[in-house]
């Protein structure tokens, strides 16, 4: 026997007589009989509807009779280096490969250069990446942290070189001075509440670095680079101490570019002994003293004490060559202690 929906459909079509189940359902349908005869549609409304329909159809250009064809697939030969189609993902992979080949080598070189020492070929790359980091450092606190980090890096490089018995190149020591100078200038701009903490941090770090350099100097006491680094660290320590005791004076001095404090140079550097270079010394020199340039072509002999006072005893080191500064760094004025000093060996330093 057929299912009820099927029998109902047959009964509705008159192909089956109603049964006990379908008869009540067919009878219920008569309740809708009143809707069978609907009113005729208004001819005017039908005409207006047709006009509106056609008017709407005319408003836009007729579309193409057929749907747009999909991109045709190639079936023949095609002279190309690549496959006939490049999927978007393949293009991305290709671009990534090209980028990695172009820049990956440089990145690997920069990474390898990070462990290099000042007298090694890749050291220039290391300095380049450091300069880039300094350029990208945004806020002053980040710049200060970076300057301290780079100063620490320079000190460690010097210690490694000294440990290996290699000479410390001058640029490395000069760069340490630049980092310390930057750190001092940034510290001078720190707000009052944070100044003491910043100075304490700078002092603590330079103290540790000074110990490291002093220790390295025991192995290479004549190394000029180490001597220069020691000078920079000592100067920075003196200035930080000044900042802790007199913050206003510290700020003024640093902002004025007077980064060379009245620091007593390390013993043995201020008073050159006989044969140390120019100058008469303390008058106790023997015939090996440098002649006084008084035009008489004779030696200076013993000088008058008053004359010795007028001319300060020269140091073995002198004022540095002008260093390139960033725009925000004021040009350092020569400290009085650097004036009138004679040129020493190939090393230039402010005292």
Interface residues with other proteins (CB under 8 A) are: 4-6, 8-9, 12, 24-29, 31-36, 38-39, 41-42, 45-46, 49-50, 52-54, 56-58, 60, 62-65, 67
Instruction: Pick between residue 33 and residue 294 the one whose CB is nearest to other proteins.
Output: 33
We find the least distance from the C-beta atom of residue 9 to other proteins, in angstroms, to be 5
Report in angstroms how near the CB of residue 52 gets to other proteins at its nearest: 6
How far is 280 from 203, CA to CA, in rounded Å? Answer: 38
* Shortest CB 70 distance to other proteins, Å: 13
Which residue lies nearer to other proteins by CB, 60 or 331? Answer: 60
Nearer to other proteins, 45 or 267 (CB): 45
Chain Cα centroid distance, residue 350: 30
Instruction: Considering the complex, state which of residue 56 and residue 309 has its C-beta at the smaller distance from other proteins.
Output: 56
Owner of token pair 């200076």: 300
Least separation in angstroms between residue 41's CB and other proteins is 5
Q: CB 47 → other proteins: shortest distance, Å?
A: 10
Comparing CB distances to other proteins, the nearer of 44 and 135 is 44
Name the minimum Å distance from CB 85 to other proteins. Answer: 25
Nearest to other proteins of 28, 327 (CB atom):
28
Q: Which lies closer to other proteins via its Cβ, residue 67 or residue 309?
A: 67
Closer to other proteins by CB, 34 or 87: give it.
Answer: 34
Sign of the dihedral through C-alpha 57, 60, 61, 62: negative
Q: What is the 3-state secondary structure (H, E, C) of the chain?
A: CCCHHHHHHHHHCCCCCCCCCHHHHHHHHHHHHHHCCCCCCCHHHHHHHHHHHHHHHHCCCCCCCCCCCCCCCCCCCCCCCCCCCCCHHHHHHHHHHHHHHHHHHHHHHHHHHCCCCCCCCCHHHHHHHHHHHHHHCCCHHHHHHHHHHHHHHHHHHHHHHHHCCCCCCHHHHHHHHHHHHHHHHHHHCCCHHHHHHHHHHHHHHHHHHHHHHHHHHHHCCCCHHHHHHHHHHHHHHHHHHHHHHCHHHHHHHHHCCCCCCCCCCCCCCCCCCCCCCCCCCCCCCCCCCCCCCCCCCCCCCCCCHHHHHHCCCCCCCECCCCCCCCCCCCCCCCCHHHCCCCCCCCCECCC
CB closer to other proteins, 24 vs 305 = 24
Distance CA 255, CA 248 (A): 10
Query: Measured from the CB of residue 35, what is the shortest distance to other proteins in angstroms?
Result: 5
Minimum distance of other proteins from residue 7's CB (angstroms): 9
Give the separation between CA 260 and CA 98, rounded to whole angstroms: 51
For the bound state, the minimum distance from the C-beta of residue 72 to other proteins, rounded and expressed in Å, comes to 19
What's the gap between Cα 142 and its chain centre?
10
């Amino acid at each position: 026997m057929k299912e009820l929906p099927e029998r109902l459909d047959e009964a509705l079509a008159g192909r089956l007589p109603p049964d006990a189940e379908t008869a009540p359902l067919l009878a219920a349908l008569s309740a809708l009989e009143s809707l069978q005869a609907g009113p005729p549609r208004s001819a005017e409304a039908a005409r207006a509807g047709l006009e509106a329909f056609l008017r709407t159809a005319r408003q836009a250009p007729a579309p193409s009779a057929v749907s747009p064809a999909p991109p045709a697939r190639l079936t023949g030969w095609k002279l190309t280096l690549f496959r006939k189609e490049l999927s978007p993902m393949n293009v991305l992979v290709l671009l990534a490969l090209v980028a990695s080949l172009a820049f990956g080598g440089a990145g690997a070189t920069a990474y390898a250069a990070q462990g290099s020492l000042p007298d090694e070929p890749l050291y220039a790359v290391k300095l380049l990446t450091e300069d880039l980091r300094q350029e990208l450092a945004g806020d002053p606190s980040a710049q200060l942290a970076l300057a301290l980090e780079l100063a620490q890096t320079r000190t460690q490089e010097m210690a490694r070189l000294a440990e290996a018995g290699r000479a410390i190149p001058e640029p490395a020591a000069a760069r340490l001075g630049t980092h310390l100078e930057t750190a001092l200038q940034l510290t001078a701009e720190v707000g009052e509440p944070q100044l003491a903490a910043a100075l304490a941090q700078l002092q603590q770090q330079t103290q540790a670095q000074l110990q490291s350099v002093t220790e390295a100097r025991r192995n290479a006491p004549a190394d000029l680079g180490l001597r220069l680094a020691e000078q920079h660290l000592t100067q920075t320590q003196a200035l930080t101490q000044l900042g802790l005791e007199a913050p206003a004076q510290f700020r003024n001095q640093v902002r004025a570019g007077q980064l060379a404090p009245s620091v007593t140079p390390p013993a043995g550097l201020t008073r050159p002994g006989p044969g140390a270079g120019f100058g008469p010394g303390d008058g106790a020199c023997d015939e090996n003293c440098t002649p006084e340039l008084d035009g008489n072509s004779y030696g200076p002999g013993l000088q008058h004490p008053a004359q010795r006072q007028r001319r300060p005893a020269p140091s073995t080191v002198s004022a540095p060559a002008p260093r390139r500064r960033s725009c925000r760094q004021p040009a350092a004025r020569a400290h009085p202690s650097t004036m009138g000093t004679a040129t020493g060996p190939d090393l230039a330093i402010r005292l």
